[in-house]
């Protein structure tokens, strides 16, 4: 433990130095707020009722011919045209192809020709028939860019669908667009040098989160019914939280990762990375998850009824991660309200989990992810061609400050850390190994604690959506979500209404491995109690300013 204490002391000194630099950056941000205004625009709520229908209702009405598939697709295309200029969430569309697919579905379902009966029967058995979905750009969608925001890959076009996109198509869903993400999916604000920055629909001066920020923003703004994100440190759950919708990080190795860029090189990393659904309604999480998982969905027993009468609820009082911001009182109040509701509604027991290792979440996650990828989580993806000259992160940092680098500053910071780490003293691998062992121990402890009938309630973030660029002042705040990736646990992010500034509140519901149905069942109950997604954005209403 002596090496760990020395390492923590050094790490704290470095962090304090970064905070000092952050004061100057904070001054720049405050000056920007003074000049341009503190608040942006708020997207108007949808006026077309079709845009507010859950996926399960859309499917039912298409199959019963109460709505046409073409009309539904067109409604969401029109909505994207309306809101995307404010959000910059959609970065590529397949509107014409989607309409053609919708017309074909309508033609078959409306046909009286007996020769079409078999095809009609096939369509009627598809669980997501006609549902418009969006896809994170880092996931391959045939015929569309698959750059993950990296300039060197901006001309890379997917030749086939990622496995999860293929599974959703087989279930009847219709992809209508691809959405923005952070560069290499490695930051919790969605911005890159290929597509630019994505804004929050509740307030365009605020972040949409990352790395699946485009998905979070366009689904919240009713430009899509459901979508696909990827999550290695909270990249589904943070955008879901900041944009006031539902997001689910599945148990590992159930939903296929093939076709995602960047893709890890190790089995361990493949278990940390999960493709997950983002939805406006909790009822859509199960059908989306089943469709995304494909043949392996049976392992989660998602159709089994969940009994909440013996629910055990755990919290972690005052055991939040080191070197992160304190949790906002409104978020803590929401957590307590959830506990009270579950006690009163289901007679659930609520107690503190007393797991002090959660304090080391930032270091546990970093050590385990870096260890899985041979300490090259970023640098292995920075050169598009195998024979290309290796990128020097420090030269690129100099170019960045001159305004000439093609990389995002977070990418350069991580690459620089990886570059410096290699020649450092031999004691550092020992320290990292200690944190890996802490993570393995914590994984065993929490799985034993949760069992088949326990959930952990945990803040999704210390703050509601921040002003653009402010994540740089608190870079480790993603630790509230990331720790659960390396613990191999399923997590459902659930909205809990709005704070005093009109920004979404939320809670993470964590369950035992392969017990996804439990966290989703609790989320459905919380949606009924706390209202879920807010369709009308009752904050600062609309076009006072251009984004």
Active site residues: 136, 211, 235
| R_g of the chain, CA atoms, integer Å | 23
In terms of Cα–Cα distance, which of 398, 316, 402, 312 is closest to 353? Answer: 316
Q: What is the DSSP string of 17-71?
A: HHHHHHHHHHHHHHHHHHHH-S----PPPP-SGGGG--HHHHHHHHHTTSS-HHH
Dist CA 157 CA 518 (whole Å): 38
Residue for token pair 């148990």: 251
Dist CA 49 CA 68 (whole Å): 14
Give CA angle at 511 (507, 516), nearest 5°. Answer: 100
Would you call 248 helix, strand, or coil by DSSP? strand
Dist CA 394 CA 379 (whole Å): 13
Helices (H), 278-328: 285-293
Dist CA 192 CA 407 (whole Å): 8
Answer whether 224's CB lies under 8 Å from 90's CB.
no
Structure tokens at 448: 């034993």
Answer whether 239's CB lies under 8 Å from 229's CB.
yes
Cα 14 from chain centroid (whole Å)? 29
Dist CA 323 CA 465 (whole Å): 19
φ and ψ at residue 238, rounded to 5 degrees: -65, -50
Structure tokens at 279: 């939805």
Query: Cβ neighbours of residue 430 under 8 Å, at least 6 residues apart?
Result: 3
Report which secondary-structure segment, H or E, holds 314: strand 312-315
For residue 385, CA distances in Å to 67, 370, 382, 388, 389 come to 48, 23, 9, 5, 9
What is the sign of the dihedral through the CA atoms of 393, 325, 246 and 219?
negative
Would you call 88 helix, strand, or coil by DSSP? coil
Our CA dihedral for 266, 269, 270, 271, rounded to 10 degrees, sits at 130
Helices (H), 487-533: 516-530
Report which secondary-structure segment, H or E, holds 413: helix 409-421
């Amino acid at each position: 433990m002596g090496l760990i204490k020395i390492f923590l002391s050094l790490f704290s000194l470095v962090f304090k130095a970064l905070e000092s630099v952050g004061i100057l950056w904070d001054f720049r941000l405050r000056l920007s707020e003074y000049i341009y205004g503190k608040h942006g625009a708020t997207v108007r709520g949808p006026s077309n009722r079709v845009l507010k229908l859950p996926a399960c209702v859309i499917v039912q009405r298409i199959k019963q011919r109460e709505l046409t598939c073409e009309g539904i697709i067109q409604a969401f295309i029109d909505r994207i045209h309306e809101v995307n200029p404010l959000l910059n969430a959609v970065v590529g569309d397949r509107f014409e192809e989607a309409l053609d697919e919708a017309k074909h579905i309508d033609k078959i379902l409306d046909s009286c020709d007996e020769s079409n009966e078999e095809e009609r029967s096939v369509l009627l058995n598809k669980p997501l028939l006609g549902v418009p979905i969006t896809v994170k750009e880092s996931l391959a969608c045939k015929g569309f860019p698959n750059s993950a925001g990296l300039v060197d890959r901006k001309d890379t076009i997917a030749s086939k669908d990622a496995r999860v996109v293929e599974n959703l198509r087989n279930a009847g869903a219709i992809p209508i667009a691809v959405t923005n993400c952070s560069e290499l999916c490695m930051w919790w604000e969605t911005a890159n040098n290929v597509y630019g920055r994505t804004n929050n629909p509740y307030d365009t001066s605020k972040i949409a989160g990352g790395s699946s920020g485009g998905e979070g923003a366009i689904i919240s703004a009713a430009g899509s019914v459901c979508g696909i994100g990827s999550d290695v440190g909270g990249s589904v759950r943070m955008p879901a939280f900041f944009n006031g919708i539902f997001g689910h990080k599945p148990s590992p190795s159930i939903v296929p990762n093939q076709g995602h860029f960047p893709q890890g090189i190790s089995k361990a990393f493949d278990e940390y990375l999960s493709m997950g659904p983002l939805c406006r309604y909790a009822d859509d999480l199960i059908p989306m998850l089943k469709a995304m998982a494909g043949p392996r969905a049976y392992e989660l027993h998602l159709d089994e009824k969940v009994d909440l009468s013996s629910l055990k609820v755990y919290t972690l009082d005052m055991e939040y991660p080191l070197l992160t911001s304190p949790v906002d009182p409104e978020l803590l109040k929401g957590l307590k309200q959830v506990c009270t509701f579950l006690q009163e509604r289901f007679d659930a027991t609520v107690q503190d989990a007393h797991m002090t290792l959660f304090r080391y979440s930032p270091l546990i996650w970093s050590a385990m992810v870096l260890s899985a990828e041979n300490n090259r989580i970023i640098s292995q993806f920075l050169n598009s061609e195998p024979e290309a000259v290796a990128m020097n992160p420090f030269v690129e940092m100099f170019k960045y400050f001159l305004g000439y680098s093609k990389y995002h500053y977070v990418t350069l910071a991580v690459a620089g850390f990886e570059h410096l780490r290699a020649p450092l003293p031999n004691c550092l691998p020992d320290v990292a190994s200690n944190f890996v062992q802490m993570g393995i121990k914590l994984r065993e402890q929490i799985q034993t604690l949760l069992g088949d009938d326990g959930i952990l309630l945990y803040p999704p973030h210390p703050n509601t959506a921040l002003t653009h660029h402010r994540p740089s002042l608190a870079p480790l705040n993603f630790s509230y979500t990331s720790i659960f990736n390396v613990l191999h646990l399923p997590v459902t992010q659930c909205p809990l209404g709005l704070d005093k500034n009109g920004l979404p509140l939320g809670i993470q519901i964590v369950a035992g491995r392969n017990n996804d149905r439990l966290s989703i069942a609790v989320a459905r109950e919380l949606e009924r109690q706390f209202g879920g997604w807010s369709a009308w954005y009752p904050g600062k209403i609309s076009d006072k300013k251009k984004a």
